[in-house]
Amino acid sequence: MELYFLGTNAGVPTLQRNVTSIALRMLEERRSLWLFDCGEGTQHQILKSPLKLSKLDKIFITHMHGDHIFGLPGLLSSRGAQGVTSPVTIYGPPGIKTFVETTLHISQSRVPYNMEIIEHTGGVLFEDSSFQVESAKLDHRAESYGYRIVEKDLPGSLDLKRLEAFGLKPGPLYGKLKRGESVELEDGQWIHASDVLLTPKKGRVVTILGDTRPCEGVELLAKDADLLVHEATFMEDLSDLAHEYYHSTAKQAAEAAKRNGVQALFLTHFSSRYKDIEHLQPLLKEAQEVFEHTRLAEDFGLYPIHRRA
């Protein structure tokens, strides 16, 4: 699992940063790509990146402000123009279905693949044998949501010494034990997976928030996350302005990470008043004074999501 930031600016793009879009690349886990928000110009950012629209199968929209959705019709249209025929599912707040269908219809855009649009107001949105995605409402001027992506625990590795003690050699039975099945040896003895599997590998938790002020939804989604992506539109000296415009400061993001036992924090959605990476250093310092494991998200930055030891 890797995070790839396609845009980290708030409101409008600048020469240094595009507006919001984040990709979660899961090539090893499910050979797919999930996109979180799709601000204007996202498809141009993808062209400059190692990401492939052919791998995209899910899009999660946090809220209906233009800097988070204006790139969606063009991206969906271009995906079809590239000859991609695999289906895509879009999750978003009420209104996302009307927006997508209306813009594609009026522009006579052809989408030659199945597209499912699911409007939601929070809760568990998706679950399979490997992942669960949960959403909760945040506190913003528009109806805004965050997403919590939970990777389910994986079986532990096989204990080769225990297997040797049972006289079992590499072969098909190894695979059955790895899948949690029990196997019978030639002498009639049964070996259960629990006898030869090491501690399960803890699944990773990634939380990606939409625009928000500090609120209960942040606490719910961020709890014990391995990685939290939190907006930091302003520094703490502009906390009154942040509150007025329903945004957060870098310090507030760091406090949320520390309070909820997060392993790593990425700040994003920076105001245009902070023109480049140099001007963002005070935000980083402010956050790191509260929560050491904080980083600034950068456009075209690729960040692995590590498992806990």
Tokens of 55: 């791998």
Amino acid at 295: R
**Considering 37, 67, 226, 299, which one is annotated as catalytic?**
67
**212 with 248: CB under 8 angstroms?**
yes
Q: Is 67 a known active-site residue? A: yes
Residue set of the binding site for Zn(2+): 63, 65, 67-68, 140, 211, 269
Angle between helices 72-81 and 96-106 (to 10 degrees): 60
The C-alpha atoms of residue 114 and residue 225 are separated, in whole angstroms, by: 33
Token pair 């271009």: residue: 78
Tokens of 141: 């001027």
Closest CA to 247 of 216, 265, 270, 266: 270
Phi, psi of 190 (to 5 degrees): -105, 135
Angle between helices 250-259 and 277-288 (to 10 degrees): 40
Beta-ladder partners of 19:
9
The C-alpha atoms of residue 36 and residue 22 are separated, in whole angstroms, by: 5
The C-alpha atoms of residue 234 and residue 241 are separated, in whole angstroms, by: 8
Residue set of the binding site: 63, 65, 67-68, 140, 211, 269
Instruction: Tell me how crowded residue 213 is: count the other CB atoms within 10 A of its CB.
Output: 20
CA distances from 53 to 3, 71, 149, 293 (A): 15, 14, 21, 32
Token pair 């990777």: residue: 151
CA distances from 90 to 59, 120, 176, 301 (A): 5, 11, 36, 24
Which residues are the active-site residues?
67
